[in-house]
Amino acid sequence: MTDRERMLAVLQGDPIDRVPWIPRLLLWYNARKKQGTLPARYRDMSLRDIERDLGLGTPARDGIVFRSRMSGVETRTHDIDALTRRTEYVTPVGTVSTVFRGSEDLRANGIADLQVEFMLKTVEDYPVVQYILERTEYVPTYEEYGAYEADIGDEGYPLVSCGDCPFHEWMRALVGYNDAYYHLADHANEVEHLLRVMEGIDRDVVWPIVVDSPGRMVLHGVHLSSQMTPPPIFNEYITPYYRDLSAALHAKEKYLAMHADNDTTQILGHIEQSGFDMVECFVTAPMVSTTLQMAREAWGDRVVIWGAIPSVILEDPYTDEEFEDYMRGVFRDAAPGAALVLGVADNVMPDAKIERIRRVTEMVEEFGRYPIAE
């Protein structure tokens, strides 16, 4: 089978020859290329060529079925210093701003800057953000997606990134984790109103574009966690939204995935109840308290796990022996191997030992044939 066939078979619950092995090498590749430290055999190779050499599928995470653009909003960007950039969004009803800050080390590794200031700082900022959201246009890019899928070919299946649910988008990108629950307590009316506006835009504008698109594997939801979106919040703000979205996608034979690189121990049941078909970049212990065994016990084979290899075991100080033991445990806990795409959560990091990636490829051939023995 090809990796495209394996991915679709896993999603559909059909038989496979072996567990798909599709990690994200992008961060490792970009950092090593930027620093000039790629292994000699890879210095003139593209990322896709390296994936082929290592026996990997390609994660194909750049499927796009729409692009957005603002109207009636002036943006002004200036550098505060060499590592800090402020962007102002000027509207007829007021101005809001964001600040992103990098570090020399992160930029040397090709890692994006961190957002340290957000649009929603005071209650007066809410009408401004609403103005911006209501004047954001969404333009379908179906032909662009088709070209991307053709380029991926048999080496994977495109994951279509479509943002986040309104509550978590507000928390993560508009107000920031540090201040979100203060705003919810102090400015409940303004927060609830903005969330209704955001959900209306999603349901009326974004969902139809996604549901009618040629993409079938939809990534909508990122970083939901036991700590920042615990069960009571999940029940009130997140589950109802995703139940409706997943139903609309399932009616068109599409699949809903979330980017699950956080501790999900307390919300495993909520993820399934919300209609998610897949957790992508699913991170496990020792990086979080969640384990593969916990997830299997909670979901059985009803939710596809894409991940299960924590990035830290690919690096020092984990020894080769500890790495081997951990990986054997992954195959043991994954048996018989249904509803699993083996990957690295969240990324293969710059300091990873690339020979361990090749070793996993060997282990997939040795232990990953379906069904995996108990």
Tell me the per-residue pLDDT of 159-181, one tens digit each, with 9 for 90 and over. 999 999 999 999 999 999 999 99
pLDDT, residue 18, reads 97
Whether residue 77 contacts residue 85, with contact meaning beta carbons closer than 8 Å, is answered with yes
Whether residue 3 contacts residue 156, with contact meaning beta carbons closer than 8 Å, is answered with yes
Cis bond upstream, residue 140 (ω within 30): no
* Tokens describing residue 303: 């939710």
Overall average pLDDT of the 27-39 stretch: 96
pLDDT tens across 320-347, in order?
999 999 999 999 999 999 999 999 999 9
- Please state, in angstroms and rounded to a whole number, the distance separating the CA atoms of residues 349 and 32: 10
CATH top-level class of 3-68+135-367: alpha beta
Percent pLDDT > 90 in the chain is 98
Alpha helices (runs of H) in the chain, residue ranges in sequence order: 3-12, 26-35, 47-53, 104-108, 126-134, 142-152, 166-169, 177-186, 188-201, 207-211, 231-233, 239-251, 268-273, 292-299, 320-334, 354-367
pLDDT at 374 over 80: no
Whether residue 264 contacts residue 226, with contact meaning beta carbons closer than 8 Å, is answered with yes
Using CA atoms, how far residue 305 sits from 12, 34, 36, 255, in Å, is 13, 32, 34, 13
pLDDT, residue 353, reads 98
Using CA atoms, how far residue 232 sits from 23, 180, 192, 237, 271, in Å, is 33, 15, 16, 9, 13
* Tokens describing residue 257: 């995935």
- Please state, in angstroms and rounded to a whole number, the distance separating the CA atoms of residues 342 and 364: 9
The β-bridge partners of 278 are: 257, 304
pLDDT at 216 over 80: yes
Overall average pLDDT of the 251-280 stretch: 98
Mean pLDDT of the chain: 97
Overall average pLDDT of the 107-118 stretch: 93
What's this model's pTM, rounded to 2 decimal places?
0.96
